[in-house]
Chains A and B, each alone.
Chain A
Amino acid sequence: MRARSFLLATLLLSCGAEEAPTPPPTPPTSDGFSWNLPQGFPAPRVPSDNPMNRAKVELGRHLFYDKRLSGNGTFSCGSCHEQARAFTDGRGLAVGSTGQEHPRGSMSLANVGYAATLTWANPLMTTLEKQALVPMFGEDPVELGLAGQEEALFARLKAEPRYQELFPRAFPEKGAEPFDLDAVVKALGAFQRTLISGRSPYDRHLAGEKGALSEAAVRGKELFFSERLECFHCHGGFSLADSVTHEGKAIDEITFHNTGLYNLDGKGAYPAPNRGVLEVSNQAGDMGRFKAPTLRNIAVTAPYMHDGSVATLPEAIDHYAAGGRTIPSGPLAGDGSKNPYKSEFVTGFLLSEQEKLDLLAFLESLTDTAFLTNPEHADPWPAP
């Protein structure tokens, strides 16, 4: 009888509704961890060998912001992934702990737990645990600069009283020796999976809150989800991204896109070493293909594109409206709109000035200030 009443209630709620109902809360783990999911968000997919628990998330947060995770003690993950910037760094190209410039920009970590692939253009990088090894031990470019310093790293971590408590609590199965690389990357992965952004004005609008969006933003939303602008094809779904995965998803569609930023030789070339998936696959058709990142919090993550070569959101809109970027002179000269590998969705569009302002208003409505200021995502270490 109770089941039948639930059915009726569900049917009543369904009439006229546009949104899937809020998912039932996931049961907490034995130490009290549970997802705090925004409306319409599924649970992130969690590796079977790294189940979530509160202690692990807390350990991951401490490690994420700990400069002892760099070879020279000057950088942490948080140095390039600042919470107030949706875990980006405001630079066009990231700079590592030794001052070496990275060829690409720091990606936002908002909803990174839902990303089916990680980094800008590597279809083989699919777990946060594996990805963490790149900034830690990568040598070209040097990011955290820990290559060859594993023992020194663990000595530093063991000397920290907080870690003496956090590591055993997070990994009780490791017994007396919880300080190892496996624990570090799993804790970092667990923390990053909690970086979920879905409480922006746009989300409140979807939930039915009157006035959550300005009239301009509502018009901008219609443009964003239109076939004319095509934005939603690559920046769609709850995460406003593609290549998304989550618990219960049967098939992960992995996609990368050439947006016509460059066309150095008239045959589609992008400047090395930023040639997209081609760097991994060595397939000509993958030239210039990069991941479409989430647009959540996009207003605070300038500059844009994989190499930070587009400074502002209005410029980004102009780029897509033109159907690609034309660079008239210099070493990067070329007509990106004629790049033969360009995505079919980057055909260009006509946009009035008012429509552009409307689209900007919508993009700005994706800023989730609760996420950007959530103390659970913040640096736990005392200021120096």
Chain B
Amino acid sequence: MARALSTLAALGLLAGCGSSQDEAGIEVALRLRPPATPLVEGERRFTSDLGYTIRLTRGYLSIQSADLVACAGARRRSFSLIREAHAHGTGSPTRLGLGSVERLLAPPGEPRSLGVFSPPPGRYCAISFGLRVADEDAEGLPADVPFVGQTILVEGFYTAAGSPEERPFRGVTTASATGKAAMDAVDLGERRALLLTGAWGEAWFQGVELASLGEEQIGRGVLQNIASTFRVEAP
């Protein structure tokens, strides 16, 4: 009898580690909204704070992952013998391994589904998008330009303020960045399902000196701008 009780206790404790009944079935769907500005003749057009008039004629961005970020100080209700490190492309209850290439010239429209988290109960405060180089098996790889091994590519033309001359530009980088979008804290101990929509701002060329920077620096500048303007629309 004593043996049976202790075995039962052990099983109960095992079940209590990160898989209690109240956390079963929680789903957080994530989708991404294309930029809202309409295209003009298939191009996206901007005027930057530096006075450049810009026509973006080609643009791609690699999003490798999305993480559901717990609020600071939130009590963890799961455990793992695997520490913070994650292998490339793998998912977890709070991570989507995406491997997705986004078209920066996608027309405005309905948000596209990225995937579904299955997180443990807890309070969550942000979505973090991992912007890293595209793998060979990334979804949405462009056919019109080599993009494997790149994080972002932008091409087009710009006209400096007061200049009649239009010049081409190109920005490309392998650098990684994180687009972190804060949101009102959501308690997933109380909600079973949630739909989150990510988006980014459109001030992509703010502060990017197109006339003097090289491809790498232009790529980094645009990547920085996109990464810093990710947001989550109110659920």
Contacts and interface: CB of A to CB of B under 8 A. Distances in A.
A4 B8 CA distance: 12
Contact size class for A? Answer: 20 to 34
Interface string A225-268: 11111101100100000000000000000000000000000000
A15 B13 contact: yes
Given A227-B132, A347-B151, A7 B176 contact: no
A139 interface: no
Interface string A6-28: 01100110111110100000000
Given A12-B13, A225-B84, A228-B130, 19 more contacts: A1-B2, A4-B6, A8-B9, A14-B17, A15-B79, A221-B84, A226-B84, A227-B132, A232-B85, A323-B174, A323-B175, A337-B174, A347-B151, A347-B174, A348-B173, A348-B220, A349-B177, A350-B220, A350-B224
A225 B132 contact: no
Given A8-B10, A17-B79, A227 B88 contact: yes
Contact of A348 (B9, B65, B84, B175): B175
A11 B178 contact: no
10 contacts: A8-B13, A18-B83, A225-B83, A228-B130, A228-B131, A230-B176, A232-B84, A233-B85, A236-B85, A347-B133
Contacts of B177: 228, 349-350
Contacts of A347: 132-133, 151, 174-176
B15 to A, nearest CB: 10
B224 A15 contact: no
A222 interface: yes
Nearest to B16: A15
Nearest to B9: A8
Query: Which 6 residue pairs across A and B have the least CB separation, nearest first?
Result: A348-B175, A225-B84, A347-B174, A349-B176, A350-B177, A11-B13
Contacts of B223: 350
Contacts of A20: 81
A233 B87 CA distance: 9
B14 interface: yes
Interface in B24-66: 64-65
User: In terms of DSSP, what is the predominant structure of the interface of chain A?
Assistant: loop
Contact of B65 (A7, A227, A337, A350): A227
B96 interface: no
Contacts of B176: 227-230, 347-350
B101 interface: no
B10 to A, nearest CB: 6
Contacts of A337: 174, 216
Given A347-B132, A348-B176, A227 B9 contact: no
Contact of B174 (A226, A228, A233, A348): A348
Contacts of B86: 227
A226 B13 CA distance: 31
Nearest to A4: B6
Contacts of A1: 2
Of A15, A17, A20, A349, chain B has the most CB atoms within 10 Å of the CB of: A349
Contacts of B13: 8, 11-12, 15
B9 to A, nearest CB: 6
B79 A4 contact: no
A337 B215 CA distance: 13
A227 B174 contact: no
Contact of B79 (A14, A230, A348, A350): A14
Contacts of A321: 175
Nearest to A355: B178
Interface in B186-235: 216, 220, 223-224, 227
Contacts of A11: 10, 13-14, 17
Contacts of A233: 85
Contact of A16 (B76, B130, B216, B224): B76
A343 to B, nearest CB: 12
A337 B172 CA distance: 13
A348 B86 CA distance: 18
B153 to A, nearest CB: 14
Contact of B10 (A7, A221, A222, A236): A7
Nearest to A233: B85
Contacts of B18: 15
Contacts of B131: 228
Nearest to A349: B176
Nearest to B220: A350
Contacts of A17: 79
A129 to B, nearest CB: 33
Interface in B72-97: 76, 79-81, 83-86, 88
